[in-house]
Structure 1
Amino acid sequence: MARTFEELVDEADSVSVDGWDFSWLDGRATEARPSWGYQRLMSARLAAVSAALDVQTGGGEVLAGAERFPPVMAATESWPPNLARATALLHPRGVVVVADPDEPPLPFADAAFDLVTSRQPATVWWAEIARVLRPGGTYFAQHVGPETVFELIEFFLGPLSDELRRKRHPDVETAAARAAGLEIVDVRMERLRMEFFDIGAVVYFLRKVVWTVPGFTVERYRDRLRALHDKIEAEGAFLAHSSRTLIEARKPERA
């Protein structure tokens, strides 16, 4: 027997969204992965340096996938539940997890790290990244790209502006990196298919990825949720697309 709208929504609204693990969505939503394999590439770079920083580490799940850490390994995170998860996961492996509000300045000295990494940071403070990198150091990250889940955003918020559609575009991000004094080594972008198979998956996603529909609550958007539930029931899934950008930037040896 199919579960009702109320059952699906109530379940998704009550489950924990701590950390950056999306396994609750298994069988309920899918998202294609970029071809480059960020975690594998990050792991190889971490093994080759002496000091590294992972910015906005979330619950530490991605960083924990690295095979080997450098002698000095630090991570930052702002959300208290994620801080606790990341510390529990990473501290046994010698990683120092630092509470940081995701606003400048980073709580580290100039030229402290050979490598700064980040997977899907909410914000990127290029000048701070450049400051904490040593000359010759590298920023290596996977960013959320432009127009990610815009189909879902516009279902709730209506048509978005061209300015918002350009936000996070690789051309914009590489220009900002260069303005901070970094050299672009590599940049790639891929657009990826996403599917939501029930309204509970949508609720969970919007509660977890809070910048998708700012201020989202079930009560505030119940009418739109019900309309989307009916659409999924009729069509079998809600189709959206994400985009991801792989970016590698280097701080010059000399200014």
Structure 2
Amino acid sequence: MSLTSKLPQGLAARQVSRPVPLRDTVYEAILELIISGELKPGQHLVEKELAELLGVSRQPVREALQWLKKDEWVDLRPGYGAFVHSPTPEEADQLLGVRTLLEAESARLAALNSTKKGIAELKQIYKRGVQALKADDVEAVVAANAELHARITEMSGNKVLNELVAQINRRVRWYHTPVAKSRGKKSWDEHSALIDAIGKKDADRAAQLMREHTEHTRETYLAQNAES
């Protein structure tokens, strides 16, 4: 008789969870520093400094940087070291263009499937975003923006669409962070109109407003980077 057959039902089904490799934790920590803008595009990433900052040895930092290079968040230059990737205008334009297509459809479907509960949730997120904007808290503004867009995609009810948007969400946050302040109140006014259209189940208008909203962000990002 096996050991599991002797154990009480339920207990036998338990499995010891495997700890997350330290490399993965370090990967996520460095990536969040990049997305939040604390580590700037083109900035030199020194293993020793990152290890001290994160309270780990240099080995998991080195491994994490290799994976970040693979995912195109970091560039490794022989003889010089690791640097935060600087996205080209073409990279940003292509990704933000795809975002517009996906999120316009998300908004259209969200309007068709909207509920009072869903609209109330969007309004609460909107309220937090406006409060963060007034407090000049860029990090909170970016977080509220990401949450609002994610909730609209969830409301679409389309699982595949959710998965596709999730794949690009981190880079969208990365591109949005440097323009969140300049987009400011106009962006949240656009959010307000979008929520109103979704609440009225006006699918065509919701899609159009989302298309215009995401295009404004794309244009602002490209213009701002052309000046720098």
Common fold, TM-score beyond 0.5? no
Rg larger in structure: 2
